[in-house]
């Protein structure tokens, strides 16, 4: 057998090299294909992100701000509330508990675990501006969510549903807290309107899910609930502001009675003026809105809401602030639609407000949790408060059912609306601590009796969140498909996700 010459050896070596190269390329392609197909379950992915983002942000801020970012510092507490609250909120949502319950629980834990001493250098003065900005975001989103055609079509039903159950529950809570907890009448009315507001953050996502599946669409049940929830918040917050003025204002009774219509007029006036200005100075951008211009539009709308809330508070017209905030957003969105702004353009701005709410949500519920001192709570008072809240919720349920009796709805649909009117969370977190802020900022010094009453108001606000938010959300999820009829034509419609930003131009 002859040995291959040098030329033949080179050819064989080249062929072997090509085969090895092809084999390596094939293995590389297979690995890339497997890598491309590899996907982590969305729930696991979110858990990993929420777990790692907190230490990542903390390390970055530690380099920038120094000791304030060490445990016990203000920046450290804010990062812990934001990132830890988001993580805990995600975890409790896996068992169908509203995320804000986990966020609130984290705040309570941080403020009451004494051996960790995580809040030794926390600046409590930050709590008030955080709540006020969060309230502006809540009301601006509510204003943008109102639709003029819906309000006109269901005007009397929406108005009744927004006003009657809220007022009746507030008066019920005022009566019970006066006789069971010894609240003065005006303080009872104040805590009544703190408790009475429904929570859009709890019911809106669930109602939208039912709406997308076609449940209740034939008679417009989801639309009525969504529109009424926003107005319900306006009614509760406005009356809360009036009660707050009666308690802490140095004005006479007659002057305070005259202030009520003045607050309504001034709040509506500011809202119409600011909303009309926003609607005029911006022009439609078409179906592919410019991202920078959309940011500017959102800043103007939200900025007006913040100015309304903070400005009217300085003028001692707290009730007008919330009214001006929601009306300015409503007027802006309504005129924009009339001027031909595309749905995509308006949705992009709505998405911006949704993003802001996701940022402020853990801070809002976290800072209210920090203010709860478990050691100072009286067991008997808490139990009586729970009794008052359960009775108030029952009265609200019955009142809501009776309110919609003449609306041409079936018994099942009326029951569902009454159930959806139970959950409380966002407004309670935003306005529950305000009375305590007023007491602590009194120029004449802190009044012990007023401080005790204001602390009880805060405690009741926290209890109603913990009591009604998880139960109410579960009740809406469970009862919706069972009580509402399904419209298959509505189910077929595909709508854009509320959490996904619309397409934008560069």
Same domain as 364, residue 269: yes
Give the percent of the chain with pLDDT over 90.
21
Q: Which residue has the higher pLDDT, 321 or 54?
A: 321
For residue 285, being part of any structural domain is answered with: yes
Q: Are 340 and 408 within one domain?
A: yes
* Final residue of a structural domain among 84, 112, 140: 112
Residues 383 and 258 in one domain: yes
Sign of CA dihedral 136, 142, 145, 151: negative
Mean pLDDT calculated for residue range 252-267: 77
341 in the same domain as 255: yes
pLDDT class of 301 with cuts at 50, 70, 90: very high
Residue 244 lies in a domain: yes
Q: What is the pLDDT of residue 220?
A: 80
Task: Note down the domain range covering 57.
Answer: 42-112
74 shares its domain with 180:
no
CB 173 within 8 A of CB 191: yes
Whether 130 and 107 share a structural domain:
no
From CA 427, how far away is CA 193, in angstroms rounded? 10
Helix, strand or coil for residue 486?
A: strand
Express as a percent the part of the chain with pLDDT over 70.
80
Alpha-carbon distance of 443 to 456, in angstroms, equals: 22
For the cut 90, the answer to whether the pLDDT of residue 169 exceeds it is: yes
Q: Which of 112, 137, 162 is the last residue of a domain?
A: 112
* pLDDT value of residue 183: 94
91/197 same-domain check: no
289 and 348 co-located in one domain = yes
pLDDT at 505: 36
User: Once rounded to an integer, what is the mean pLDDT over residues 304-311?
Assistant: 91
In this structure, of 21-30, 153-162, 444-453, 464-473, the range with the lowest mean pLDDT score is 21-30
Quickly list DSSP for 117-146.
-TTTB--GGGHHHHHHHHHHHHHHHHHHH-
My answer on whether 83 and 132 are in the same domain is: no
Q: Which of 158-172, 245-259, 482-496 has the lowest mean pLDDT?
A: 482-496
* Last residue within a domain, chosen from 82, 112, 142: 112
| pLDDT tops 80 at residue 499 | no
Whether 12 is covered by a domain: the verdict is no
CATH number at residue 487: 1.20.1530.20
* 370 and 472 belong to one structural domain: yes
Q: Is 255 a residue whose pLDDT tops 80?
A: no
Q: Residues, the chain, total?
A: 506
331, part of any domain: yes
Show Cβ contacts of residue 385 under 8 Å, excluding neighbours closer than 6 positions. 181, 456, 459, 460, 463
Pair (163, 296) in one structural domain = yes
Instruction: Look at residues 470, 299, 366 and name the one whose alpha carbon lies nearest to residue 111.
Output: 366
Q: Is the pLDDT of residue 374 over 80?
A: yes
Count of structural domains within the chain: 2
Give the mean model confidence (pLDDT) for residues 451-459: 92
Tell me, yes or no, whether 18 lies in a domain: no
Distance (Å, rounded) from C-alpha 88 to C-alpha 8? Answer: 70
- Asked whether residue 29 is domain-assigned, the answer is no
Do the beta carbons of residue 266 and residue 248 sit within 8 Å?
no
Higher pLDDT, residue 247 or 178: 178
125-159: pLDDT as tens digits: 888 888 888 888 888 888 887 778 878 888 889 89
Mean pLDDT (the chain) is 81
Instruction: State how far the Cα of 432 lies from the Cα of 419, in Å rounded to an integer.
Output: 23
Is residue 46 assigned to a domain? yes
pLDDT interval class at 41 (50, 70, 90)? low
Q: Are residues 101 and 130 in the same domain?
A: no
Residue 503 reports pLDDT greater than 50: no
Would 198 be classed as within a structural domain? yes
- Dist. CA 433–CA 319, nearest whole Å: 16
- Residues 257-283 as b or e (16 or more Cβ within 10 Å = b): eebbeebeebbbebbeebbeebbeebe
State the pLDDT at residue 282.
86
pLDDT surpasses 80 at 429 = yes
338 pLDDT tier (thresholds 50, 70, 90): confident
State the residue for tokens 């031909």.
Answer: 340
């Amino acid at each position: 057998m002859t040995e291959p010459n040098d030329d033949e050896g080179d050819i064989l070596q080249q062929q072997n090299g090509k085969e090895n190269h092809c084999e390596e390329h094939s293995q590389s392609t297979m690995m890339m294909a497997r890598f491309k197909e590899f996907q982590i379950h969305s729930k696991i992915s979110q858990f990993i992100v929420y777990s790692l983002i907190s230490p990542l942000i903390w390390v970055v801020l530690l380099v920038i701000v120094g000791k304030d970012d060490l445990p016990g510092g203000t920046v450290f507490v804010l990062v812990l509330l934001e990132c830890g609250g988001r993580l805990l909120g995600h975890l409790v949502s896996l068992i169908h508990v509203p995320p804000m319950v986990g966020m609130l629980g984290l705040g309570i834990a941080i403020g009451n675990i004494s051996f960790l001493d995580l809040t030794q250098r926390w600046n409590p003065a930050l709590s008030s501006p955080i709540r006020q900005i969060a309230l502006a975001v809540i009301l601006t989103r509510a204003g943008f969510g109102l639709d003029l055609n819906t309000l006109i079509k269901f005007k009397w039903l929406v108005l009744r549903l927004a006003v009657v159950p809220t007022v009746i529950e507030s008066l019920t809570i005022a009566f019970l807290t006066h006789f069971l907890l010894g609240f003065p009448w005006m303080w009872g009315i104040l805590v009544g309107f703190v408790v009475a507001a429904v929570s859009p953050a709890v019911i809106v996502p669930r109602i939208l899910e039912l709406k997308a599946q076609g449940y209740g669409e034939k008679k417009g049940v989801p639309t009525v609930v969504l529109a009424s929830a926003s107005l319900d918040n306006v009614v509760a917050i406005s009356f809360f502001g009036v009660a707050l003025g009666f308690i802490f204002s140095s004005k006479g009774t007659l002057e305070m009675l005259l202030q009520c219509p003045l607050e309504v007029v001034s709040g509506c006036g500011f809202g119409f003026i600011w909303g009309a200005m926003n609607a005029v100075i911006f022009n439609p951008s078409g179906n592919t809105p410019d991202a920078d211009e959309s940011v500017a539009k959102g800043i103007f709308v939200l900025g007006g809401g913040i100015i309304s809330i903070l400005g009217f508070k300085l003028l001692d017209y707290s009730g007008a602030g919330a009214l001006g905030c929601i009306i300015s957003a409503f007027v802006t969105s309504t005129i924009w639609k009339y001027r031909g702004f595309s749905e995509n353009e308006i949705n992009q701005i709505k998405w911006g407000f949704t993003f802001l709410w996701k940022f402020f949500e853990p801070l809002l519920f976290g800072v209210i949790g920090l203010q709860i001192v478990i050691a100072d709570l009286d067991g008997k008072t808490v139990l009586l408060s729970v009794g008052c809240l359960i009775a108030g919720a029952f009265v609200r349920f019955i009142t809501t059912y009776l309110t919609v009796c003449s609306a041409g709805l079936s018994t099942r649909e009326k029951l569902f609306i009454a159930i959806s009117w139970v959950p409380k969370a966002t407004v309670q977190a935003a306005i529950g601590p305000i009375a305590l802020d007023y007491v602590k900022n009194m120029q004449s010094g802190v009044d012990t009796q007023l401080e005790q009453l204001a602390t009880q108001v805060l405690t009741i606000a926290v209890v109603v969140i913990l009591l009604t938010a998880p139960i109410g959300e579960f009740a809406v999820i469970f009862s919706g498909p069972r009580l509402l009829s399904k419209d298959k034509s509505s189910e077929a419609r595909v709508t854009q996700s509320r959490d996904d930003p619309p397409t934008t131009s560069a």
